Amino acid sequence: METIRLGNYSIPQTAALAPMAGVADRAYRILCKEHGAAALVSEMISAKGLCYGDRKTAQLCTILPEERPMGLQLFGSEPDFMAKAVTIVKQFEPDWIDINMGCPVPKVVGTGAGSALMKNIDLAEKVTEAAVKASNIPVTVKFRTGWDSDSINAVEFAKAIENAGASAIAVHGRTKMQMYSGKADWNIIKQVKQAVSIPVIGNGDVISFDSCKKMYDKTGCDLVMIGRGSYGNPFVFCEIDSMIKGLTYTPPTLEERMETMLYHIRLILKYSFGKPPEIAIRDARKHAAWYMSGCYGAASFRARCYQLSSYEEAEVMANDFIKLQNEYSDLK
């Protein structure tokens, strides 16, 4: 199997888990890694928050052995703060440092960070250069195709980031204005790959082995990264890993899906940073609902998911969901 080199790791060209704030927490990352994700990246960490000693921000930096290889993702728009933040995260021994220059969320963009940096290539280059100079491990940058459809500048942006010393780049095939809607433009990812010599990671609209293979074939990217395609579907990593290795892949049964959902909830409760179970279970609600997407009666069960107040309720709900699907199957 072909690999790409990042730091001390040779990462297989299967699929990595994308960093997703509010979704890809430790429980989610471990689950996806167990299902075959090639690499992980943390949720966004504020460079300035780190510099000011924010305890919650520091919690996001901890990496468990079972999560490796894993990068820590920082966001910020001030080179000095970014350099200091890179120095601070060294104590957590990340395998690489990623800089978020693609987040479209207003509270991030409003600070001049995230995808706002795509409107200021010179500053983006300086932020990257500051991080590279302060780091003794690879620095990567994740960005989008541009700010909007009238300012697609990913190629120019990628060249500047490479010039600043980045070891690899990840491109989400959407503009900032698209947010997460519409279709990802893989042609731009291809153009970026052709314009730089460092590894390019492609992100956007990969939900299966077929779409993963198509992204590799169409863009020539060095690694595929999956975000929303993994919602309620960590199995996608196993599918891709198995198929690329030439192994037989068997999709999970309904019972296996529900057991994975319950296991996911147990992981959330386990890695809840001291939250009492009745509070931590709230973090599991959206995840539980995702496991039921596309199934008969999913809408009514989503409502139940968003009312979950205990693990025991989740067990009952999973059994009820299996019963409903079986009854529906018998009627067809």
Of 32, 51, 61, 103, catalytic: 103
Integer CA distances (angstroms), 117 to 32, 102, 123, 201, in order: 30, 8, 7, 19
221 is catalytic: no
Cα torsion for 60, 225, 66, 278, to the nearest 10°? 50
Q: What are phi and psi of 210, to 5 degrees?
A: -60, -50
Query: Distance between CA 273 and CA 279 in Å, rounded?
Result: 11
Query: Distance between CA 60 and CA 39 in Å, rounded?
Result: 17
Smallest CA-to-CA distance from 236 within 260, 201, 265 is with 260
Q: What are phi and psi of 227, to 5 degrees?
A: -110, -95
- Name the one residue in this structure whose structure tokens are 């820590």: 72
Smallest CA-to-CA distance from 87 within 47, 44, 45 is with 47
Smallest CA-to-CA distance from 270 within 26, 33, 72, 40 is with 26
CA angle 50, 52, 53 (to 5 degrees): 65
**314 contacts 286 by C-beta, under 8 angstroms:** no
Q: Which two structure tokens, joined as six digits, stand for 23?
A: 């979704």
Instruction: Please state whether 57 falls in left (phi above 0), alpha (psi between -120 and 50) or beta.
Output: alpha
Q: Which two structure tokens, joined as six digits, stand for 271?
A: 């890695």
Transcribe 18-38 into DSSP letters. Answer: PP-TTTS-HHHHHHHHHTT-S
Q: Which two structure tokens, joined as six digits, stand for 39?
A: 């690499």
Indicate which residues carry an active-site annotation. 103
